[in-house]
Structure 1
Amino acid sequence: MTLSAQTIPLAPTSTRDTEVLARSTARGFAVPTRLRTALLTAVPLAALLLLWYLLTANQVVFWLRFDKIPTPAEVFDSFRTQAGTHSYYSNITSSMRRILIGFGLATVAGVLIGMAIGRSPLVNALVRPVLEVFRPIPAIALVPLAILLFPTGEQGIVFITFFAAFFPVAVSTIHAMHALPRVWEEAARTLGAGRFAILFRIALPGALPGIFSGLSVAMGVAWICVISAEMISGQFGIGYFTWQSYGLLDYPGVVVGMLSIGVLGWATAWLVEVVGRRVNRWLPRAVR
């Protein structure tokens, strides 16, 4: 009588095989990764919503005054009203357009100038002092100057957004260039690579992880400054909507504007992170 290989399970031949077999056996009982991530994301948000409801519904006054803060139900009713109007979506579109243009220009200019400063001692000596003089200036402090410089308020807000996002990108690019191992460049030169090949096929890909760290910071700073500029001198935008609601004593509308800003900022930061993961797929951690 012969026994087929299908009737007798083969024993694991190593510890690694044992772990793989145990993992595959338990996989049917495990929670899917995406569902687990979604649950972990939803739990703190639900807890925050519950705390908000309890504090406002009971009108708690303990140093902080929650008796004047709108309840979640009032904010939801205000959001439902705003979601049925054209102006709400027009304001969101205006803010997104300013963010995309200002952040896009800051990305291109910051990476190019950062690469030039990080690679060339001459450019570093000429440009770095100017960069360091303007970097500490808050972008929102340029609102009066932007009103004088640009013919329209739209151009001025885009300039402020660009100014705010430019410096995190440029500085992160400079540091990423300085952190590159010299052996990469020496090996490329040994193999006959020219200056531009080293710059765009060795230096730039190697610096991309550091550059995307700066892009993540720049996106958050850009949102802070574009909302502030819209509140001061804008006529459209979600920041203008929030400030206008405050002027009309529409406090649920103020919270709707704040939450809209938070969701938009979260979405754009997530988009930068997704692009960064795809671009930096060659990293060992990204593969894992």
Structure 2
Amino acid sequence: MPAAAEPALAPPPAPKAARRRSWSSLTVRFASVAAAIVVWQVLTANDVRLWLRFDTLPTVGDIVTAFGNRLATEDYWLDLGQSLIRILTGFAIAAVTGVITGIMLGRSAAFADSFGPLTELARPIPAIAIVPVAILLFPTDEAGIVFITFLAAYFPIMVSTRHAVRALPTLWEDSVRTLGGSRWDVITRVVLPGILPGVFGGLSVGIGVAWICVISAEMISGRLGVGYRTWQAYTVLAYPDVFVGIITIGVLGFATSAAVELVGRRVTRWLPRGEEDDR
């Protein structure tokens, strides 16, 4: 009598080697930032002048002191909140508008013929070049800055969504229609799930471009905000405060981009990623 087949074993838990790789990766990342800080301190503290004039820049200690002083002021937090309101408002409007128009451009030939040429003509124009138009068009500087932020984020989101829609296999839609699905079923069951990776790719690019433009717009026509305060510090030669603004912008940009990526990974967790999850 043949021996009974052995029961299938449950997959083993994640190996410790994967966790070690994760900690090793984090260590390398923190070490690279620490090394850059040390190099900056050495170059500025010793007034190194090898074509690049590090003797004119503040040391790490000067920047840390200025950062501590700025954190204790109300203006710093007002600027922080104002920039976040502008970026989140413009980006949210761009995300909704960009995804909707991207789907329509990819699915409707009539809409692509009527609206597509306008987007292709406007897309190469840098959003920051529209600042004079925004100042004339909108009744307040605040609305103009939000519009510039929206414009900067809109095109990467729209283009990524449009390409994602056009890249969907037609077999998926044919299968839904063969089973009696309506156009709405195609949109909700095929198009929206299928384009999510492309959409979040556009959102990730859009949030980065939006930060560039909102800071530039604040420098040109703002009354509050991190960009406005950074430029103001430069005009009065407060160079440590300039670097406080630069670091703040970098941290805000990193945090918002990481948030978009985290949401994207949660929404598309059904996608096979293999070893990517061990990073």
**TM-score normalized by structure 1?**
0.89
Q: Using the TM superposition, give the Cα deviation of residue 36 of structure 1 relative to its aligned residue in structure 2, in angstroms.
A: 3.1
Query: How far apart in 1 are the matches of 2:208 and 2:194?
Result: 24
* Alignment match, 2:151: 163
Output the CA distance in 2 between the equivalents of 1:71 and 1:148: 41
AA matched with 1:173: T
SS in 2 for 1:67: helix
2:12 corresponds to 1:42: no
Q: Which residue of 2 aligns with 1:145?
A: 133
Aligned to 1:235: 223
1:184 match: secondary structure: helix
Which of 39, 43, 47 does residue 51 from structure 1 map onto?
39
Asked if 1:106 corresponds to 2:94, the answer is yes
Which residue identity lines up with residue 43 of structure 1 in the other structure? Answer: A
Bigger Cα displacement from structure 2, 31-40 vs 62-71: 31-40
Q: Match of 2:46, as an amino acid?
A: N
Which residue of the partner structure matches residue 122 of structure 2? 134
Aligned residue number for residue 206 of structure 2: 218
Identity of aligned residues (%): 51
Match of 1:65 among 31, 37, 53: 53
Q: State yes or no: 1:202 paired with 2:190.
A: yes
Which residue pairs with 1:5 in the alignment? none
Aligned to 2:111: 123
Match of 1:282, SS? Answer: coil
**Aligned with 2:124: secondary structure?**
coil
Distance 1:197 1:106 in 2: 25
Once residues 21 and 181 of structure 2 are traced to their aligned partners in structure 1, the CA distance between those partners, rounded to angstroms, is: 43
* Match of residue 258 from structure 1: 246
Q: Which runs of 5+ in 2 are unaligned?
A: 1-5
1:248 alignment partner in structure 2: 236
1:3 aligned residue: none
- The runs of 4+ residues in structure 1 deviating greater than 4 Å are 29-34
1:59-98 matches, within 5 Å, as: 59-98=47-86
**Quick one: which amino acid aligns to residue 101 of structure 2?**
I
Partners of 1:184 and 1:124 in 2: CA distance:
22
What letter corresponds to residue 72 of structure 2 in structure 1?
A: G
Moved more, 184-193 or 255-264: 184-193
DSSP 3-state at the match of 2:168? coil
Indicate the larger mover: 260-269 or 29-38: 29-38
Please tell me the residue identity of whatever aligns with 2:241: G
1:177 corresponds to 2:165: yes
Tell me how far apart the structure 1 counterparts of residues 151 and 68 of structure 2 sit (CA, whole Å): 35
Count of residue pairs brought into register by the alignment: 268
1:183 shift after superposition: 0.8
RMSD value, Cα: 2.0
**Rg comparison, structure with higher value:** 1
